[in-house]
């Protein structure tokens, strides 16, 4: 049991190290790009272009994903469960008052027939 905890802790430490490497790597890459652009655009211009390079593509991707999102598929009609519900649904399609009056009766019959105590 302790071995499992040790493996989980080691995995967590490796995950933190990996995230730190990615964050610092991207940070140093951004710093390098901004420094390279500073002579021609100035410090603020280099930083702005570097920020646009790193923020622009994910931002436009997110906008495209939101704009091109497919509408959710329509929910399928729930088929009646059991023989009683199937019979009731067939009758209720023709006469709506049967749906109102018979809903309680069908529910009571369904409960009665499905929850009978078993004899030992």
pLDDT digits (tens, 9 = 90+) for 83-93: 667 766 776 67
- Cα 87 from chain centre: 38
The sign of the torsion formed by the CA atoms of 76, 78, 83, 89 equals negative
3, part of any domain: no
The pTM (predicted TM-score) of the whole model is 0.47
Task: Tell me, yes or no, whether 13 and 66 share the same domain.
Answer: yes
| Average pLDDT of the chain to the nearest whole number | 80
pLDDT at 80 over 50: no
Name the residue range of residue 98's domain.
82-114
pLDDT digits (tens, 9 = 90+) for 40-67: 999 999 989 998 998 899 899 889 988 8
3-state helix, strand, coil in the chain (%, to 5): 80, 0, 20
When divided into structural domains, the chain yields a total of: 2
Calpha distance 54→42 (Å, rounded): 18
């Amino acid at each position: 049991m302790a071995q499992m905890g040790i493996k989980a802790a080691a995995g967590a430490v490796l995950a933190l190290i990996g995230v730190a490497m990615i964050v610092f790597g991207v940070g140093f890459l951004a710093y390098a790009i901004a420094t390279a652009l500073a002579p021609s655009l100035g410090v603020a211009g280099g930083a702005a272009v570097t920020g646009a390079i790193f923020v622009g593509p994910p931002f436009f991707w997110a906008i495209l994903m939101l704009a091109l999102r497919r509408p959710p598929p329509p929910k399928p009609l729930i088929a009646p469960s059991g023989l009683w519900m199937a019979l009731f649904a067939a009758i209720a399609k023709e006469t709506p008052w049967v749906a109102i009056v018979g809903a309680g009766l069908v529910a009571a019959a369904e409960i009665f027939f499905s929850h009978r105590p078993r004899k030992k």
